């Protein structure tokens, strides 16, 4: 028990830092494993062990010290070329790291750490040491070693007497240290005050990390002599949080002030207030930064996990990490750890194939998992991709049907992406065997829940035979965001700027531009049809009364983006852009999907923050419910969400439709800007070349139209943009469709009733492949699978 030590806090600090050191040591060992000649990695591990040894002796933790000492010796011998580095040593080092971790954990739980058995390990290390010493050329070194040993052992003897006053012990040690002027003292201070030096070079960047662990100030004796290169300080987390709150309040008060000042005419007052505004913004930005931590803090453990896991199941897998210093609010860092861990373990366990399988499919034996993080439009995106098996759409489809989550027909009608997303459904797992690693069927849905709980989204893409990519998007900051204040009736609402794509005002006649397709209002925005949602419907409160004079009536639409989709939100009034402080809403209101929180706006009023994703989710399902009510006379009504379809007129004036999910945008293109390139039609489009595919050509129908401009649907074909030329673009509809006939002809997935008329739902992927616009030796999915 830690009764021995008067100053328990010093021990706590030792433990916190030791854990960090050991993590750094693991990194070093694995770097070293990749390249046994990597001197830097070796040095890094050596330094960690050295520090651990020194500090643990300072606390009288003989057991820790003993192991650290032996391990350090082995490395020292390698450094002096007395011992040949090999895989066995790497394994021993990893074992040492694990044992040390165990000891530290026991210590932090207040248990006896001496029970951690490392006799066998120490024996092996001793053997290597003795071998190495035999090879040691200069006897002088041996003496130096002995002297060092003595120095480290002496302070320990002082300590075995529990009765002694701690302060006296400290002083004694310090005297010893002073006398020797060896690393002893520096060990403790450097250990306590400056960790960064011991951490191995990561990604060749030396990023100073602010340490904000909970730790009371270090005792004066030790901190007095902190190293001059120390540029970090430790402060309590609660202090940072307090600062955050105060800054939030400051921003609010500044906003209020600005509102009042803007009405005055005093120039000096206005400009002073502006200056205040700038300083406040900068203050806020910097305080926010203190809350940000690099993703690396969560990722650090993964390489080791992947290594150990892959070895245990006989696979060769490498984990690469890109963008480790991408920063994330500290409150979110913890929340993503579990989801990430699960996805990675999944990739290792199920995604990546065994070395033989990989060889047989022409891949490298070593599988690769890539962790990537970057910032994008106010969010942090984390991608986990593997080059493994990819998802088997048929297996998943079968599972969906077997679990009764959807009927066979529905599943056949779903886009690939929709099918893949079913793996997030509770109780879903296609793993043939439930291993103790993953596959229990409780993982993926928990992953999604956890990520959504912090306001993020998770999605995935997969190519059978090539691999899978998971994408997690998390909001960047929590507290203060730029937003637009809008009104419905007499209430204020707020929309985060990051969700806004544009603003539209319709006056008088223009209001007719909102068209109505089967009960869903839509608006044509630069060629795209976007659904319209009325804020009044969302909040179920009446709108402002219509103007008497039709000419004067105005309609305001806020174009809102949710993931890759857009919709228009009709509001009564658009007020202004403001920086608002996001306040937690209270657990009683958390379940209301349309709100993301509440805030206090400039004039001191409370305004609810609209959750655009929640609105989209709710309103889309509402619309499809409406549609299904109308269609209830049909037999065999499908359950499940309606999908969006782009309706077009194909060759021969045929009614056709394309799954809207894969449609990137719609364009009208001048015929004369189309060029011919090696017998294909292409277009210079947005800085690159866009390949064009004519539906008429595919279906072998004469292109009769000689209009100057063509209607092109920009389609997402496996990540590439392809232009599909159609006769006319009709509508975008959201419907649950009923499949009437499957595969009626090449290029058509099935026939279905869309808007009460028979429509051909195109299999655009097949159309693209059938147009043979890629190299001849590109195999289609089926051909590859058959191989």
Q: Judged by CB, which is closer to other proteins: 612, or 711?
A: 612
Q: Judged by CB, which is closer to other proteins: 127, or 605?
A: 605
Minimum gap (Å) between residue 585 Cβ and other proteins: 7
> Per DSSP, what are the bridge partners of residue 760?
656, 751
User: Considering CB under 8 A, how many residues would be counted as binding other proteins?
Assistant: 24
* Residues whose CB is less than 8 angstroms from the CB of residue 69 and which lie 6 or more positions away in sequence, other chains included: 49, 53, 149, 152
CA-CA distance, 128 to 136, in Å (whole number)?
A: 12
CA-CA distance, 251 to 484, in Å (whole number)?
A: 16
Name residues contacting other proteins, limited to 220-259 (CB under 8 A).
248-249, 252
Q: In this structure, are strands 467-475 and 379-386 parallel, antiparallel, or unpaired?
A: antiparallel
Among 541, 576, 630, 742, binds other proteins (CB under 8 A): 541
Minimum gap (Å) between residue 588 Cβ and other proteins: 5
- The interface region with other proteins, picked from 4-12, 154-162, 328-336, 533-541 by CB under 8 A, is 533-541
Q: Judged by CB, which is closer to other proteins: 203, or 245?
A: 245
Q: Judged by CB, which is closer to other proteins: 356, or 605?
A: 605
CA-CA distance, 348 to 358, in Å (whole number)?
A: 13
Minimum gap (Å) between residue 245 Cβ and other proteins: 8
Half-sphere exposure of 573 (CA within 13 A, CB side): 11
Tokens representing residue 702 in the block: 């004469």
CA-CA distance, 168 to 746, in Å (whole number)?
A: 89
CA-CA distance, 438 to 448, in Å (whole number)?
A: 15
Minimum gap (Å) between residue 492 Cβ and other proteins: 9
Among 231, 376, 402, 540, binds other proteins (CB under 8 A): 540
Name residues contacting other proteins, limited to 579-638 (CB under 8 A).
583-589, 591-592, 594-595, 598, 600, 604-606, 608
Minimum gap (Å) between residue 448 Cβ and other proteins: 23
- The interface region with other proteins, picked from 64-72, 539-547, 628-636, 662-670 by CB under 8 A, is 539-547
Residue 534 found at the interface with other proteins (CB under 8 A): no
Return the CA Rg of the chain: 33
Q: Judged by CB, which is closer to other proteins: 451, or 610?
A: 610
CA 56 vs. chain centroid, Å, equals 37
Name residues contacting other proteins, limited to 7-36 (CB under 8 A).
none
Minimum gap (Å) between residue 558 Cβ and other proteins: 18
**Angle 218-224-225 from CA coordinates, rounded to 5°:** 115
Report whether 22 contacts 304 (CB < 8 A).
Answer: no
Q: Judged by CB, which is closer to other proteins: 287, or 732?
A: 287
- The interface region with other proteins, picked from 306-314, 417-425, 534-542, 558-566 by CB under 8 A, is 534-542
Report whether 32 contacts 45 (CB < 8 A).
Answer: yes
Contact pattern for other proteins over residues 462 through 501, marking x by CB under 8 A: -----------------------------x----------
Q: Judged by CB, which is closer to other proteins: 605, or 742?
A: 605
Q: Which own/partner contact pairs does 301-306 have at CB distance under 8 Å and 24+ positions apart?
A: 301/23, 301/26, 302/340, 302/341, 302/344, 302/371, 303/26, 303/27, 303/30, 304/26, 304/30, 305/341, 305/344, 305/345, 306/344, 306/348, 306/369
Minimum gap (Å) between residue 625 Cβ and other proteins: 17
Q: What are the residues binding other proteins (CB under 8 A)? A: 248-249, 252, 491, 539-541, 583-589, 591-592, 594-595, 598, 600, 604-606, 608
């Amino acid at each position: 028990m830690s009764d021995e030590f008067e100053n328990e806090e010093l021990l706590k600090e030792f433990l916190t830092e030791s854990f960090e050191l050991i993590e750094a040591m693991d990194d070093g060992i694995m770097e070293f494993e990749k390249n046994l000649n990597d001197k830097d990695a070796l040095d890094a591990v050596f330094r960690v062990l050295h520090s651990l040894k020194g500090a643990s002796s300072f606390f009288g933790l003989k057991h820790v010290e003993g192991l650290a000492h032996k391990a350090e010796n082995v490395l020292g011998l390698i450094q002096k070329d007395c011992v040949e580095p090999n895989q066995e040593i790497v394994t021993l080092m990893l074992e040492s790291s694990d044992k040390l971790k165990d000891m530290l954990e026991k210590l932090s739980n207040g248990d006896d750490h001496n029970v951690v058995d490392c006799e066998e390990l120490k024996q092996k290390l001793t053997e290597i040491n003795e071998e190495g010493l035999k090879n040691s050329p200069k006897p002088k070194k041996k003496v130096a070693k002995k002297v060092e040993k003595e120095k480290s052992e002496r302070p320990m003897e002082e300590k075995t007497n529990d009765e002694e006053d701690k302060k006296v012990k400290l002083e004694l040690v310090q005297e010893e240290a002073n006398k020797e002027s060896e690393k002893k003292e520096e060990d403790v201070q450097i250990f306590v005050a400056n960790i960064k030096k011991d951490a191995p070079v990561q990604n060749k960047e030396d990023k100073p990390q602010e340490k904000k662990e909970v730790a009371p100030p270090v005792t004066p004796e030790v901190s007095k002599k902190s190293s001059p290169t120390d540029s970090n300080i430790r402060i309590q987390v609660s202090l940072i949080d307090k600062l955050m709150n105060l800054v939030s309040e400051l921003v609010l008060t500044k906003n209020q002030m600005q509102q009042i000042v803007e009405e005055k005419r005093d120039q000096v007052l206005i400009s002073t207030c502006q200056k205040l505004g700038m300083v406040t913004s900068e203050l806020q930005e910097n305080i926010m930064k203190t809350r940000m931590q690099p993703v690396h803090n969560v990722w650090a453990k993964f390489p080791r996990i992947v290594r150990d896991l892959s070895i245990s199941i006989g696979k060769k897998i490498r984990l690469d990490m890109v963008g480790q210093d991408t920063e994330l609010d500290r409150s979110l860092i913890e929340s993503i750890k579990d989801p990430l861990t699960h996805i990675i373990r999944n990739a290792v366990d199920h995604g990546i194939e065994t070395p033989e399988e990989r060889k047989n499919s022409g891949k490298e034996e070593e599988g690769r998992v890539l962790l990537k993080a970057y910032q994008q439009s106010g969010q942090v995106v984390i991608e986990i991709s593997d080059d493994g098996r990819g998802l088997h759409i048929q297996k998943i489809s079968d599972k969906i049907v077997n679990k009764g989550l959807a009927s066979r027909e529905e599943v056949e009608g779903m886009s690939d992406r929709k099918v893949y997303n079913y793996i997030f459904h509770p109780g879903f797992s296609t793993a043939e065997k439930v291993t103790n690693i993953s596959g229990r069927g409780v993982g993926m849905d928990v992953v999604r829940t956890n990520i959504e709980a912090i306001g993020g989204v998770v999605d995935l893409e997969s190519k059978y035979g090539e691999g899978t990519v998971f994408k997690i998007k998390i909001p960047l900051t929590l507290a203060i965001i730029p937003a637009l204040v809008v009104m419905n009736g007499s209430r204020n609402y707020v929309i985060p700027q990051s969700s806004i794509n544009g603003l539209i005002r319709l006056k008088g006649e223009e209001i007719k531009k909102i068209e109505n397709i089967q009960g869903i209002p839509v608006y044509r925005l630069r060629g795209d049809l976007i659904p319209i949602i009325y804020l009044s419907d969302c909040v179920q409160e009446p709108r402002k009364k219509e103007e008497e004079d039709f000419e004067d009536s105005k309609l305001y639409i806020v174009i809102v983006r949710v993931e890759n989709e857009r919709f228009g939100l009709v509001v009564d009034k658009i007020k202004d852009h403001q920086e608002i402080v996001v306040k937690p809403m209270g657990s009683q209101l958390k379940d209301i999907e349309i709100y993301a929180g509440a805030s206090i706006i400039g004039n001191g009023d409370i305004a609810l923050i609209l959750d655009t994703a929640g609105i989209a989710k709710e309103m889309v399902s509402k619309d499809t419910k409406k549609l299904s009510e109308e269609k209830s006379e049909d037999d065999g009504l499908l359950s499940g969400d309606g999908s969006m379809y782009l309706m077009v007129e194909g060759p021969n004036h045929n009614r056709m439709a394309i799954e809207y999910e894969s449609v990137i945008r719609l364009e009208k293109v001048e015929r004369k800007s189309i060029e011919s390139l090696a017998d294909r039609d292409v277009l210079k489009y947005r800085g690159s070349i866009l390949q064009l595919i004519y539906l008429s050509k595919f279906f072998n129908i004469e292109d009769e139209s000689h209009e100057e401009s063509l209607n092109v649907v920009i389609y997402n074909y496996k990540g590439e943009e392809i232009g599909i030329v159609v006769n006319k673009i009709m509508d975008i509809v959201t419907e649950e469709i009923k499949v009437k006939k499957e595969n009626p002809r090449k290029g058509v997935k099935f026939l279905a009733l869309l808007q009460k008329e028979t429509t051909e739902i195109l299999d655009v992927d097949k159309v693209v492949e059938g147009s043979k616009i890629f190299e001849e030796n590109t195999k289609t999915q089926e051909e590859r699978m058959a191989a």
